Chain A
Amino acid sequence: MTIVVTGVGAVTALGGTARTTFERIALGERGLRELSLFDPGEVRSKVVAEVVDLAMPSDPSVSRTSELALLAAREAIADAKLDVRSRRVGLVLGGTTAGMFETESILATLLSTEARRGGPADPRREAALSRMLSHPLSAPTDRLVKELGPFARARSLSSACSSGANALAVAATWLELGVVDAVLCGAADSLCRVIVSGFSALGALDPNGARPFDARRRGLTLGEGAGMLVLERSADAARESVVCTLLGWGARSEAHHITNPEATGAAPLAAMAAALERAGLAPSDIDYVNAHGTGTPLNDPMEARALARLFSDDVGRVPVSSQKGMIGHTLAAAGAIEAVITALAIERGIVPPTAGLEEVDPECAHLRHVTSAESRPIGAAISSSFGFGGMDAALVFGHRERVAPVSRKRRGIVVTGMSVVTPGGIVEGTSVADVPASLAQGAAVVIPDGALDAEKARRLDRTSRIGAIACGRALGPVAPGVGVVLGVAFGAVDATAEFMRRLRDKGPRMVRPAEFPSLVPSSPAGYVSIYLGLDGPALVVADLAVSGECAVLQACELIAAGDVDRMCAGAVEERSAIVEEVLSVVFASGGATSRREGGAVVALAAADAGVPALARLGDIVSFANGSSDGVMAGLPPPPEEGGIVVLGTEHAEELVLASSWSTCPRIVCAGACGEHEAAGSVAIAVAAAKVARGDAKAALFVGSSRGWGYAGTVWPPDPAP
């Protein structure tokens, strides 16, 4: 099966559409200017690639990021002539900042009214709190669903600066697995104070503007924007809308350091090799590389080394360029915008140039740099993206005539381990089945001495610590190639508030550089991969109260599509005074909510990977935007006896009643694990443990929130052949 790109959209500092952006890039224009969106204070560079003429709607709950995403999405949909309502269309949106720009002013209000916390209701404070729901990673996706949907399924993900590339990879697996007929996919990020001061504190900004591969380069230039694409199976696509083909994709983790790339470029090389293998191509088939090329001192030589190893003697033939000196580093959006640029380069037979490159760094001199656009046919091209935490991804695009090799067979999924972290204790293996019988003690998880290696874990924030414990215990000994997907609904809200407090009180020179990476939503997956040495794909997904179910489904998709053999997947949530206050205002629950913290992880493997199985997972069904009609009918019925239903919270009861499992005994986990957004992952771990231990013959897990939901079944493992 061949996947084709049938529509593109982009908003960048160089233009409001994909094709304007491409044409100005081809002319070598640079969209860099002094930051005007806000006053960043004393930072290393005020030069940014800002979208200056963005008209924001008057609705204060709308984020800048979501507006950028929406504009690019509308363009891509129109370009593809896609009717979202008449077909099964999916949405995958990557991000890092989401509503951060708006959150900054909300947090400023919260900090200035802090004295009144817990006192009589303060209208200013309550108004600010109620707008906090524009903050989570899932909020821009929610807006696109509302404005453009309904979609058959929707996903919010982050792998830092490779989010855009991973959004396309996830979209491609959906088409391969046949769960949708078309996907709108991409990523968006807007500039904000946290990002500008954070990158400044890391010493990563070049005051002269980014100069990728140049000997004098001193760092990157931050940008903002969005890139969106429509992908379809070639058999379903109108021939005249095909821009190019998406032939391969690959993701790997460096498991090395939260901010510094591993110098040999082994993981980027592995990601590119995996993408080529999937595409059925050899390096000699590649006619262009759209590099990550940030312009930081460490990235560019690392990338040049990875390309030298990939192409070996042929490296001098392949044109390489990066547009980050023109449209800036748009973080999550970069991988998606660069996918758009690569697609248009192939369609038009134009190799886009690198801007800002005058004196080539000797360490990058073996690459064939392109400093002004070249007309030449491109049969196939690679676009690479590398993210904080060492989350690396590569995409291979081909000319519209180039088809992909035969599709991989869809693989079954087994559970090989599980672990639950609750305020009552940390439980692993089939003993997880006993968790619902206990009662949560206190609100906070107690991490016992020795549960983590103190030196290795010193940079991990609380969410990452809980995640590292849960993943480590669910997995057992780590094998090569294992990946991780963590569901994180809110992320590090309190740490962001603390960072903002220092920024406000002491200025951008005094923010803590080592704490900045934790504010990026993908960090828990990055830190877990570094701590445990997991070198497979690493992602964070977010879906508010069903983030755990979302993470397990995401991991299953990657395994089923053949991208990875083993994953650990689940959700983690830390206590947050701000989130608890937000929830009490939004749900008018008054006073402190009963929200606690914790999480759970299941270790998953392909049924044919030869890992001893504790249980087998049936297909997980899902819905977005309220359209749950008929979804539960897609589940297999329970066995005649011995079937149970396991829920994180009681919210999903209605869906259970609509299923053939309605008369099975029900277990609710929230009382034992605490009420929080990761409770659904506890339910999945408990369901698997109950079946694995023989307490039940099969189990159904269901989670739902705000019209989104997931349901799946667990069965005893197939007898060994």
Chain B
Amino acid sequence: MPSPALTSEIKALLVSELNLSGRDPATIADDAPLFGEGGLGLDSLDALQIAMLVEERFAVRVPEGDEARPIFRSVSTLAEFIERSKSS
């Protein structure tokens, strides 16, 4: 399980940087899908924006293409990727 502090930080970042105004970061579930139906409904342009933000804030580079897919599944997977990259 990724640290709750990190997942909270990611949620706040998503809401402010993707301009999800009206959305309370606390209501985003750790494992809710970021893309497509039934989740945050983000798209590929958001993915690029998130990759840039993660690199800026956490100094880790998100891989591109198929490798990025599992990382971008949810807030949890994104947090796990950041923790994994930081510790390696």
Contacts and interface: CB of A to CB of B under 8 A. Distances in A.
B6 interface: no
A513 B55 contact: no
A683 B26 CA distance: 47
Interface string B15-53: 000111110000000000000000001011110110010
Given A260-B43, A260-B44, A513 B19 contact: no
A407 interface: no
A697 interface: no
Interface in A167-209: 201-203
Contacts of A259: 45
A317 interface: no
A258 B52 contact: no
Contact of A458 (B21, B48, B64): B21
Contacts of B55: 509-510
Given A509-B55, A510-B55, A203 B21 contact: no
A513 B56 contact: no
A257 interface: yes
A200 to B, nearest CB: 10
B21 A513 contact: no
A514 B48 contact: yes
A513 B49 contact: yes
Interface of A is mostly: loop
Interface residues of B, number: 16
A301 to B, nearest CB: 15
A666 interface: no
A29 to B, nearest CB: 31
A513 B52 contact: yes
Contact of B52 (A201, A454, A459): A201
Nearest to B44: A260
Interface in A238-270: 257-260
Contacts, number: 42
A513 B43 contact: no
B21 A510 contact: no
Interface in A452-481: 454-455, 458-459
Given A454-B21, A454-B22, A203 B56 contact: no
B32 to A, nearest CB: 15
A586 B49 CA distance: 37
Nearest to A517: B45
Given A509-B52, A510-B56, A512-B52, A258 B45 contact: yes
A259 B46 CA distance: 11
B18 A458 contact: yes
Nearest to B53: A512
A506 interface: yes
Task: Determine which residue in A257, A458, A506 has the highest number of CB atoms from chain B within 10 A of its CB, and name it.
Answer: A458
Interface string A508-523: 0111111000000000
Nearest to B46: A514
A514 B44 CA distance: 10
B61 to A, nearest CB: 9
Interface string B42-75: 0111101100100110000000100000000000
Contacts of B22: 454-455
A202 B20 CA distance: 20
Interface string A608-629: 0000000000000000000000
7 closest cross-chain pairs (CB), A and B: A513-B48, A458-B19, A514-B49, A454-B22, A454-B21, A514-B45, A513-B49
Interface of B: 18-22, 41, 43-46, 48-49, 52, 55-56, 64
